[in-house]
Amino acid sequence: MGMNSKQRVQQSLGHQLPDKVPVDFGSTTVTGIHIRMVEKLRDHYGLEKRPVKLTEPYQMLGEIDAELQQLMGIDAIGLSPPDNMFGFSSTGWKEFQTFWGQEILVPELFNTRLDENGDLLIYPEGDMKAHPSAKMPKTGFFFDAIIRQDPIVESLLDPKDNLEEFRPVSEQDLNYWKDQINSIKGSDKAVVANFGGTGIGDIALVPAPFLKHPKGIRDITEWYMSLVLRPDYIRTVFDKQSDIAVGNLKKLAAIAGNTIDVLYVCGTDFGTQDSTFCSPETFDDLWLPYYRKINDWVHANTTWKTFKHSCGAVETLISHFIEAGFDILNPVQITAKGMDPVRLKEKYGNQVVFWGGGIDTQHVLSFGTIHDVRNQVLRQCEILSKNGGFVFTTVHNIQANVPVENVISMIQALREFNR
């Protein structure tokens, strides 16, 4: 008999060959599918016609329910925090029509209005009395953060202001996580937990689209400059944040135990298409000690594997990610400079799990033919699955306007490889 999904992923996480390549779509906010594509896939497979739920409004990701998981051969499911990137929960649903004419279900506090240009504004905590924290252009398919940086007075800068969102986990949140854990106990899927609070320096979080009045350094450009101009400030923020994170993980581990397999630690991007945002030396100085604090605690006290997301040309940082204690690298952007999959597998394949790199989303999946898609999927699986240590997913989320026939070709090619 073959393995179930959980065993398949665990085998690959242990750098051993599973019965077939495990697959993830939707367990994290960086392995998801745009809500428009989810609807197209449901139509292709002849599933019930109904509005798709918007599970992650910032990137407009749709729910991949159990029916679609089965049809796509998905092996991993995710646990998400109670509040989304705009600071409100999905406790109820209402209908909403998108710019592209799709009828979807959005959380009750998904409150929006159009600005003078016809772009869509959204509000932190759903509070329309606050300043909007993100905008979707009328020709767009997801939101961009609105920078709400107060004028910086150097003498008044306080690292505590950049820690406002990093707080000890509440009893209410612990009860939420207990319910989440209980809901997936006995599942034969691998479980990826996004508990939150561990995203050190994640540039998506710096503008704090979930806070009504974010304080501290909240402008992205100013944050990057602060890595050089205010390193002591950054270290203080990271040191305190990682202390809070470990304290929260102690309580969460007592609830979750071995039910979960992977901890999503952070989505902090370090790469551009052809370079990195910082040198390896800067990474070692500003990030590595605090990542290691979190990862060391996880490895000493749980069976979980830790997940690091970083787009771009990060080959020069991979050994540093490994030294920081990360077990998993995503999305494995194979078209970025220095990210040749053959070399990556040969050099790092026995030290880190490649969770991604199954197909290039910028060019092949979006603009190639079905034959281009098939050929790349087969090649990537051949390279990255050798001796285990590979979970198939695309290089970041599948976007809105990808031809659905290309996505189907990808799924069929993966099945072909696994046969």
Domains, in order of start, for the chain: 5-47+62-85+149-418 (3.20.20.210), 86-148 (no CATH)
Section 160-186 average pLDDT: 96
CA distance 96 to 294: 39
CA-based radius of gyration for the chain: 21
- pLDDT tens digits for 312-364? 999 999 999 999 999 999 999 999 999 999 999 999 999 999 999 999 999 99
Average confidence score pLDDT of the chain: 97
Strand order in the sheet with 390-391: 76-79, 190-193, 262-266, 305-309, 328-330, 353-355, 390-391
CA distance 17 to 3: 11
**Per-residue model confidence (pLDDT) at position 1:** 63
Residue 48: partners with Cβ closer than 8 Å, 6 or more residues away: 42
- pLDDT tens digits for 115-164? 999 999 999 999 999 999 999 999 999 999 999 999 999 999 999 999 99
Residue 124: partners with Cβ closer than 8 Å, 6 or more residues away: 86, 87, 130, 133, 208, 209, 210, 211, 212
Kindly state the percentage of the chain with pLDDT values over 90: 99
Section 201-208 average pLDDT: 94
Residue 10: partners with Cβ closer than 8 Å, 6 or more residues away: 190, 261
Tell which residue, 87, 111, 287, 119, has the closest CA to residue 205. Answer: 87
- pLDDT tens digits for 65-98? 999 999 999 999 999 999 999 999 988 999 999 9
**Residue 118 half-sphere exposure, CB side, CA atoms within 13 Å?**
5
Residue with tokens 């350094």: 217
